[in-house]
């Protein structure tokens, strides 16, 4: 991306070539794009309208030119008193490459800069903690992935630096990886740096189905709780907001940030002026022992707030209910997490305690259930499973259904009703749209004493009794609750796959005929 200067009093065909614009920009580059508008990038396609902005001299006349169409505006005072310009483009169909030139005219001096090899497609933000930051270089089948990378030149990659700041910023201060075309070099940077494995596999699979350019922006921070990713507005709704006067110099080297809004301020807030299609999210492990009980509020609140802020930041050009997908936490061993019952509870809280999405608290969301994908021998500890391909495939199915309207079965089977019948039987009725595949009988438990049944109980627990599957059909499962009868009681609650690692790899009890696992649940029995 170059800067060019033209004197209006001279021949318009003569110009002086300026220096390259850096990713971050600097004081000499008084006319420039915002940090994330670069060569090789993807802008959001129709029906949305892409937003392009940058910096200039206050009052300068601006013109943007793309494919013979010109847009005009002036430089105005923007956030933090910066002098900024902004263009909202017409809706563009998927495709490219395009060249975009922006002209800056100020007191007879004409300057122009150009973006090259720009595509229009779908832009997805990939955010969360370490399992989203987990890089392609750390996954299984790396050699095969790198060999195939060159076939995906319509996918573009961008990685935000992992930084913290106490106040909201309007542009990125750290970019680890500028917009790049997939290759062995751009996919495999230093571990935990670039590029996000879940983000890449999701984008690649999405491109294979849709055939349109895909822009992937990874903005993740290892070990982070949800509170740093949430704005003060979101935190207030859950009673989590307190003014934070911690000096940035005291916390800038903290490996696992828990300070309110410290990542929202600098890794999400600067992106709010860029029109996007949606978000995928992988986070929750750090909230196992930190505000666990608030996660069923804080997670939906963050999603609502991100949607509102992106809608406002792009003048309504990012959908006000944009699709938001997330990974329900995978299996983990006691090498990483205490077996105190809190980890399975976070999986439940990720659905706002419904057990499924979308729901009335979390509309337009989709979920990848992954508790049946353990990697207990992972050299990176079991909390970091290396199979990110299956995670991305399950995210893809949810995205195709919810974000793109494809007719696919994207959700694992969850019972419609749980009823007691006979003296010691429990009948689980599943939707007729779900064809059950029962692999083994061991992942169900019942609680007999209502006064002692708690979702936070660990596995194993003396309160919860094993209730094996005694019979099943395509749409029903019958459990044997004899252990409650043996102590003169009836089953009050049923829970499923409620453990750190409930089964071996893809060997939990219940799946559907699309290979998707039943999600874990904690539900009452209708007596």
pLDDT per residue over 119-136, tens digit each? 999 999 999 999 999 999
Give the whole-angstrom CA distance, residue 165 versus residue 161: 12
> Could you tell me if 207 and 344 lie in one domain?
yes
Per-residue pLDDT tens digits of the chain, which is 527 residues long: 544 443 332 332 222 222 233 223 334 468 999 999 999 999 999 999 999 999 999 999 999 999 999 999 999 999 888 999 999 999 999 999 999 999 999 999 999 999 999 999 999 999 999 999 999 999 998 988 898 998 999 999 999 999 999 999 999 999 999 999 999 999 998 889 999 999 999 999 999 999 999 999 999 999 999 999 999 999 999 999 765 444 334 444 444 568 899 999 999 999 999 999 999 999 999 999 999 999 999 999 999 999 999 999 999 999 999 999 999 999 999 999 999 999 999 999 999 999 999 999 999 999 999 999 999 999 999 999 999 999 999 999 999 999 999 999 999 999 999 999 988 999 999 999 999 999 999 999 999 998 999 999 999 999 999 999 999 999 999 999 999 999 999 999 999 999 999 999 999 999 999 999 999 999 999 98
Determine the Cα–Cα distance for residues 293 and 298; give it in Å rounded to an integer: 9
pLDDT confidence of residue 1 = 53
User: Looking at the structure, do residues 498 and 351 belong to the same domain, yes or no?
Assistant: no
Domain check: are 335 and 273 in the same one? yes
Query: What is the pLDDT at residue 316?
Result: 97
Q: Could you tell me the two tokens for 489?
A: 């009681």
**Encoding tokens for residue 508?**
């939990």
With beta carbons less than 8 A apart as the criterion, state whether 182 and 153 touch: yes
What pLDDT is attached to residue 30?
86
Number of helices (H), then strands (E), in the chain: 10, 27
The confidence score (pLDDT) of residue 457 equals 93
pLDDT per position as a tens digit, 339-384? 999 999 999 999 999 999 999 999 999 999 999 999 999 999 999 9
pLDDT at 11: 30
Domain match, 93 and 110 both = yes
pLDDT of residue 389: 97
Q: Decide if 152 is inside a domain.
A: yes
C-beta of residue 214 within 8 angstroms of C-beta of residue 126: no
Q: Do 12 and 46 have their domain in common?
A: yes
Is the Cβ–Cβ distance between 398 and 325 less than 8 Å?
yes
For residue 232, how many other CB atoms are within 10 A of its CB?
17
Asked whether residue 342 is domain-assigned, the answer is: yes
Which token pair is 83? 């002098």
pTM: predicted TM-score of the whole model, two decimal places: 0.92
The last residue of one of the domains, among 85, 118, 151, is: 118
- pLDDT reported for residue 423: 84
**Which of residues 118, 142, 158 is at a domain's end?**
118
As a whole number of angstroms, the distance between CA 56 and CA 88 comes to: 17
Residue 190: predicted pLDDT: 87
Q: Which tokens go with 265? A: 């301020």
pLDDT for position 459: 93
Examine the domain organization and report whether 215 and 337 are in the same domain.
yes
What CATH number does the domain containing 111 carry?
2.60.40.10
| Structural domain for 77, as ranges | 3-118
Put the strands of the sheet holding 425-429 in their side by side order: 417-421, 425-429, 476-480, 469-472
User: What is the three-state SS of 74-126?
Assistant: ECEECHHHCEEEEEECCCCCCEEEEEEEEEEEECCEEEEEEEEEEEEEEEEEE
How many domains, in total, are found in the chain?
Answer: 3
Quick check: is 150 in a domain?
yes
Residues facing 494 on adjacent strands? 446, 523
**Residue 20 within a domain:** yes
Please enumerate in sequence order all residues whose Cβ is within 8 A of that of 350, keeping only pairs 6 or more positions apart, or say none. Answer: 284, 295, 299, 326, 328, 329, 367
Phi and psi based region of residue 300 (left: phi greater than 0; alpha: psi -120 to 50; beta: remaining): alpha
C-alpha span between 456 and 289 (Å, rounded): 12
Q: What is the pLDDT of residue 149?
A: 93
Of 94, 118, 142, which residue is a domain's last? Answer: 118
Q: Do residues 114 and 85 share a domain?
A: yes
């Amino acid at each position: 991306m170059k800067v060019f200067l033209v004197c209006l009093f001279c021949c318009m065909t003569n110009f002086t070539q300026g220096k390259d614009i850096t990713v971050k920009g600097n004081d000499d580059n008084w006319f420039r794009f915002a940090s994330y508008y670069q060569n090789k990038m993807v802008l959001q396609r129709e029906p949305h309208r892409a937003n392009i902005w940058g910096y200039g001299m206050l009052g300068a006349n601006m013109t943007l030119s793309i494919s013979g169409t010109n847009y005009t505006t002036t430089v105005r005072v923007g956030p933090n008193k910066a002098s900024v310009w902004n263009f909202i483009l017409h809706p563009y169909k998927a495709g490219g490459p395009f060249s975009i030139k922006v002209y800056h005219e100020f007191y007879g001096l004409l300057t122009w800069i150009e973006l090259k090899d720009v595509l229009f497609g779908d832009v997805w933000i990939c955010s969360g903690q370490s399992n989203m930051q987990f890089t392609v270089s750390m996954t299984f089948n790396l050699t095969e992935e790198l060999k195939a990378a060159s076939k995906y030149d319509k996918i573009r990659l961008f990685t935000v630096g992992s930084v913290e700041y106490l106040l909201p910023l309007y542009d990125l201060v750290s970019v680890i990886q500028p917009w790049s075309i997939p290759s062995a070099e751009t996919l495999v940077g230093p571990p935990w740096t670039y590029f996000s494995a879940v983000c890449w596999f999701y984008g690649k699979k999405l491109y294979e189905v849709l055939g349109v350019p895909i822009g992937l922006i990874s903005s993740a921070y290892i070990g982070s709780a949800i509170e740093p990713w949430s704005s003060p507005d979101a935190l207030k709704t859950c009673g989590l907001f307190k003014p934070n006067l911690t000096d940035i110099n005291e916390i800038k080297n903290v490996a696992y940030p828990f300070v309110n809004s410290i990542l929202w301020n600098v890794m999400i807030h600067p992106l709010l002026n860029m029109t996007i299609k949606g978000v995928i999210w992988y986070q929750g492990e750090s909230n196992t022992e930190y505000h666990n009980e608030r996660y069923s509020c804080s997670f939906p609140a963050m999603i609502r707030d991100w949607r509102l802020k992106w809608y406002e930041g792009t003048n309504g050009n990012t959908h006000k209910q944009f699709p938001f997908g997330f990974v329900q936490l995978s299996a983990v061993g006691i090498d990483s997490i205490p077996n105190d019952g809190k980890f399975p509870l976070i999986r439940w809280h990720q659905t706002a305690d419904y057990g499924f999405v979308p729901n009335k608290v979390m509309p337009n969301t989709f979920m990848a259930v992954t508790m049946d994908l353990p990697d207990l021998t992972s050299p990176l500890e079991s909390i970091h499973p290396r199979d990110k391909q299956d995670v991305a495939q399950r995210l893809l199915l949810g995205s195709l259904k919810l974000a793109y309207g494809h007719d696919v079965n994207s959700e694992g089977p969850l019972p419609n009703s749980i009823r007691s019948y006979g003296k010691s039987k429990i009948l689980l009725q599943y939707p007729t749209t779900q064809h059950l595949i029962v692999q083994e009988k061991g992942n169900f438990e019942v609680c007999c004493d209502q006064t002692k049944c708690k979702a936070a109980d660990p596995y194993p627990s003396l309160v919860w009794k094993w209730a094996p599957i005694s019979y099943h059909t395509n749409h029903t499962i019958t459990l044997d609750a004899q252990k409650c009868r043996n102590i003169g009681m009836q089953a009050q609650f049923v829970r499923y796959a409620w453990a750190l690692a409930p089964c071996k790899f893809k060997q939990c009890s219940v799946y559907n005929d699309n290979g998707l696992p039943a999600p874990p649940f904690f539900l009452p029995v209708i007596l």
